Chain A
Amino acid sequence: SYVLTQPPSVSVAPGKTARITCGGNNIGGTSVHWYQQKPGQAPVLVIYYDSDRPSGIPERFSGSNSGNTATLTISRVEAGDEADYYCQVWDTSSDLGVFGGGTKLTVL
């Protein structure tokens, strides 16, 4: 089955840029979706189809996807961005869902 690999943690100072990666075999050949999950809350979709933002998600959140790595970029990081972030793909060859292992973003 398809495997998505994320770094367990990323730390960034307020106002700086955070980049969270999601690795997978030829992941650039499919669409990647990203979720933000704060403690005790359900996940929230922040990026879909690699780089689209749902309504209500700040423009500071952006995404890219190429080759074997997809990246969620958070610009001008705020304390409120501290959360776990998960990437997800739908493996079209098997028609099954896959989540990455999650990355804890810490705002220093």
Chain B
Amino acid sequence: QITLKESGPTLVKPTQTLTLTCTFSGFSLSTGGVGVGWIRQPPGKALEWLALIYWNDDKRYSPSLKSRLTITKDTSKNQVVLTMTNMDPVDTATYYCAHSFVAGTLHFDYWGQGTLVTVSS
């Protein structure tokens, strides 16, 4: 079965860079059509799509955060890493990674449990 799990720091200081790792099992990111995305949710607020990496290493970023985000994959380790630079308190949120399969329009069928990241000095 497909599982994903996010890991990373729970607390970062303003201006620091956040690095989150999504470790997954049950699928390979070298299989055609597969993608892994990152979505975040500030406390009490809506979901926000951040980034996606495809099996072929193609990448997509939210336009509003594109300058601050980098998504990479390590197929051998079954991991996807998201980095976000210049963190600010408004970036406090639960960050989720999720599996997708590109057949038609993309959606997220399996999600990690999420990891809460607090930005505070």
Q: List residues of chain A with CB under 8 Å of any chain B CB.
A: 1, 30-31, 33, 35, 37, 42-45, 48-49, 54, 86, 88-90, 92, 94-102
B105 touches A99 (CB 8 A): no
State the Cβ distance, A101 to closest chain B Cβ, in Å. 5
B96 touches A45 (CB 8 A): no
Q: Is B93's beta carbon under 8 Å from chain A? A: no
A33 touches B107 (CB 8 A): yes
10 new A-B pairs (CB below 8 Å) besides A42-B113, A44-B111, A88-B49? A33-B105, A33-B107, A42-B96, A42-B112, A43-B108, A96-B49, A96-B60, A96-B61, A99-B48, A100-B46
Give the top 4 A-B pairs by smallest Cβ distance, nearest first: A97-B49, A33-B107, A90-B106, A31-B105
8 contacts between A and B (CB under 8 A): A37-B47, A42-B112, A43-B47, A45-B107, A49-B105, A49-B107, A89-B105, A101-B46
CB closest chain-B residue, reference A48 = B107
Cβ contacts under 8 Å, B46 to chain A = 86, 99-102
Q: List residues of chain B with CB under 8 Å of any chain A CB.
A: 37, 39, 46-49, 52, 60-63, 96, 104-109, 111-114
Cβ contacts under 8 Å, A35 to chain B = 47, 108
Q: How far is the CA of A90 from the CA of B41 in the complex (A)?
A: 18
A31 touches B47 (CB 8 A): no
State the Cβ distance, A84 to closest chain B Cβ, in Å. 8
Contact A99:B111 (CB < 8 A) given known A31-B105, A90-B105: no
Contact A86:B47 (CB < 8 A) given known A43-B96, A96-B62: yes
CB closest chain-B residue, reference A42 = B111
Q: How far is the CA of A85 from the CA of B114 in the complex (A)?
A: 17
- Report which residue of A33, A96, A97 has the largest number of chain B beta carbons within 10 angstroms of its beta carbon: A97
